[in-house]
Structure 1
């Protein structure tokens, strides 16, 4: 099944965000139908915070390593497309296809600044990216993100206005990360006939089962950096126990090395 064919409204697949070749191979072996990069999780591996700290060349090289690691479609979480100009977004699409990605997402946050692109500018950026995607010699799934609700830059009404415009501009899939309420999420899904991605993270959305997302009409469930941060949480808690009281017992829960080897093989 192609990456595009996985996107079915009411039958959402889990897009597993990995942070290195090893995690990608483990997730593939455990049943992931597709892999994605995570801008935040990738930044963490480089010892950097999230939010515009990774260059396009670094992100492309990282994505290419994941493509080489698995026999699954891989999508790139590519922040604002690594540039403010529409042509920057178009060039990122072209380069992403060259390294073997099945698609990418582009958001309307003007990183590294703490602001959203103005409406018309945000739409023009997606229009340029969509045009570049359609000119490619193979299929490519472009996801347009309206991040202003999550980032506190605008409200849900503006987010819906934007995804409708992104839809008209040629985006293949729409995405509003972490709407404040489930009713807001349902409004996002209802605002377009195209597939909608839902970020499964945080204290609300991580507690909702796939069946409920299916009933809402979602087409894709991504993890963002959540799985990486679960791993980082284990590191933090285990280290606090070791360094604080000299208690090494959390290490007894470690996955056997042979089991890891089997998944990587």
Structure 2
């Protein structure tokens, strides 16, 4: 899809790494070239895929329903459509073996992506890997990243995720134990989605010396970028929040149309000409 040069892809990956040195910045999760170009035109500095949002476009539920090739190709297509760096949501690396995680990270680097996230849970059970195995998986991902970056003279930002708090599988203390170990084996960014409170998020940030990603969803949407920055969060991702907001609009309009015959929700839209202008501004070669 893209005619971006290798040099351009490398520059994007380096820009992404550099963004983590200043923060806070919003990592806007998108699900196709159009949403990527809109975010690029409207002020985003970096983009990410969302496994849930991607699954929705395929008519599938979230969680282990997408394979490695689909996810990486999807991220690469988005990467080629925009001048912004793209981070890939690659779930648990698409397999329980260390070789699965290694292959996922290596292929992401080879495709010119700026970074990726690796979770510590299994699919379809969403049971977390045992502590030692979870750490070994991130260690394998780090090794694969370093080898691939050396081979391709490139930069890549690896995010290690501790998802058990969000799924209810373990508590904050276990999450802290995991992220400290992930940092020790070389993760570039730490991510504990949806802790119980903003104070817990502050504890997470203070427990490590690498950048921390925070998910802005649910109760965390009441906090501003400045609020996140004040407690030391470097990166604020949207997860599937933006996709779910769009789906809410579709749902509400459909309910009004098909249940009551009320068509007025369609009047609250943006013009095609405006969309065309935004897409052109946010395209890869703009």
TM class by shorter chain equals: over 0.9
Say whether residues 1:132 and 2:144 are aligned partners. Answer: yes
Q: Does the aligned pair in 2 maintain the 1:115–1:153 contact within 8 Å? A: yes
Which of 158, 173, 195 does residue 211 from structure 2 map onto? 195
Q: Output the CA distance in 2 between the equivalents of 1:184 and 1:223.
A: 19
TM-score normalised by structure 1 residue count: 0.98
Q: Which of residues 233, 257, 268 is equivalent to 1:253?
A: 268
Please tell me the root mean square deviation across aligned C-alpha atoms, in Å.
0.9
SS at match of 2:27: strand
Task: Show the counterpart of 1:90.
Answer: 102
Tell me which residue corresponds to 2:18: 5
Distance 1:182 1:231 in 2: 26
Alpha-carbon distance in structure 2 between the residues aligned to 1:201 and 1:160: 21
CA positional deviation for 1:86:
1.5
CA–CA distance in 1 between the matches of 2:222 and 2:198?
A: 12
Counterpart for residue 220 of structure 2? 205
Deviation at residue 49 of structure 1 after TM alignment:
0.1
**Structure 2 matches for 1:1-265, cutoff 5 A?**
2-8=15-21, 11-135=23-147, 136=149, 137-202=153-218, 204-265=219-280
Stretches of 4+ aligned residues off by more than 4 angstroms: none
Contact 1:201 1:223 in 2 (8 A): yes
Give me the whole-angstrom Cα distance separating, in 1, the residues matched to 2:157 and 2:21: 13
Output the CA distance in 1 between the equivalents of 2:94 and 2:139.
16
Q: CA offset at residue 8 of structure 1?
A: 3.2
Length, aligned pairs only: 263
Structure 1 unaligned segments of length 5 or more: list them.
none
1:183 offset after TM fit, Å?
A: 1.3
SS in 2 for 1:2: helix
State the shift of 1:98 in Å: 1.5
| Partner SS state of residue 255, structure 2 | helix
Q: Distance in 2 between matches of 1:134 and 1:94?
A: 9
The Cα of 1:214 is off from its aligned counterpart by: 0.7
The alpha-carbon deviation at position 114 of structure 1 amounts to 2.6
* TM-aligned CA deviation for residue 100 of structure 1: 1.4
In the TM superposition, residue 87 of structure 1 has moved relative to its aligned partner by 1.7
Output the CA distance in 1 between the equivalents of 2:121 and 2:267.
Answer: 43
Offset, 1:29: 0.6
Check conservation: 1:87, 1:125, Cα contact below 8 A.
no
Q: CA deviation at 1:164?
A: 0.2
Deviations 1:183-240 (A, max 9, x none): 11111000101000000011x1011011111110000000000000000000000000
Q: Partners of 2:191 and 2:97 in 1: how far apart?
A: 21
